[in-house]
Amino acid sequence: MIEAGLLIYRDVELINGLILEMSPGGTEHTYIGETLADSFRRLTQGIAWVREARPITLTQSEPEPDIAIVRLPHSLYRSHHPYPEDIYLLIEISHSTLKFDTSEKRNTYAAANIQDYWVVDVNNKQLIIYRSPINGLYKNETRLSLDSQVSPLAFPDLNIIVNEIFNR
């Protein structure tokens, strides 16, 4: 529908077969997303590709996560969006969408077997991490405060300091 021009000038994403309007990102959402994506670009240069607010292809869904860290080479995505097996990490920056990102999107990503899904909770200044999807549900949920550090599953040598997500 997008390629046919039916949804031109509309920010939408396909979630579980439904076309949903996307909430516009505010200034803090945008700032955190840009700085976090920039950090990941530096940290994963030559080992992964960082996409910002671009579609990924799942069964019955084509969401646009704020950040997707995907496998190289980048040329893979000339003919299709990344599939679950291409995805190392998905990140949503949640200011006004926390409930949706920690329910509908979480379940959609778990059903697609996305191994590592992070939600940046802007209002509560915490990072919520979902891992180990089993039968469409994440087995592990961890909430990290500002004084915590975390490494993406695919890149255990990379340390992300939660405080730097919010205070860079």
Q: What is the pLDDT of residue 62?
A: 83
Q: What is the pLDDT of residue 6?
A: 47
Query: Which residues does 62 contact at the CB level (< 8 Å), separation at least 6?
Result: 13, 14, 55, 56, 81
Q: What is the pLDDT of residue 16?
A: 61
Q: What is the pLDDT of residue 1?
A: 44
In this predicted model, what pLDDT tens digit does every residue of 69-82 receive, in sequence order? 999 999 999 999 99
pLDDT < 50 regions, the chain: 1-2, 6-7, 9
Q: Are strands 87-94 and 116-121 parallel, antiparallel or unpaired?
A: parallel
Q: How far is CA 33 from CA 74, 113, 133, in A?
A: 20, 23, 25
Q: How far apart are CA 13 and CA 15, in angstroms?
A: 6
Ramachandran class of 132: left when φ > 0, alpha when ψ lies in -120 to 50, beta otherwise: left
Complete domains list, the chain, with CATH: 12-166 (3.90.1570.10)
Query: Which residues does 52 contact at the CB level (< 8 Å), separation at least 6?
Result: 33, 34, 37, 66, 67
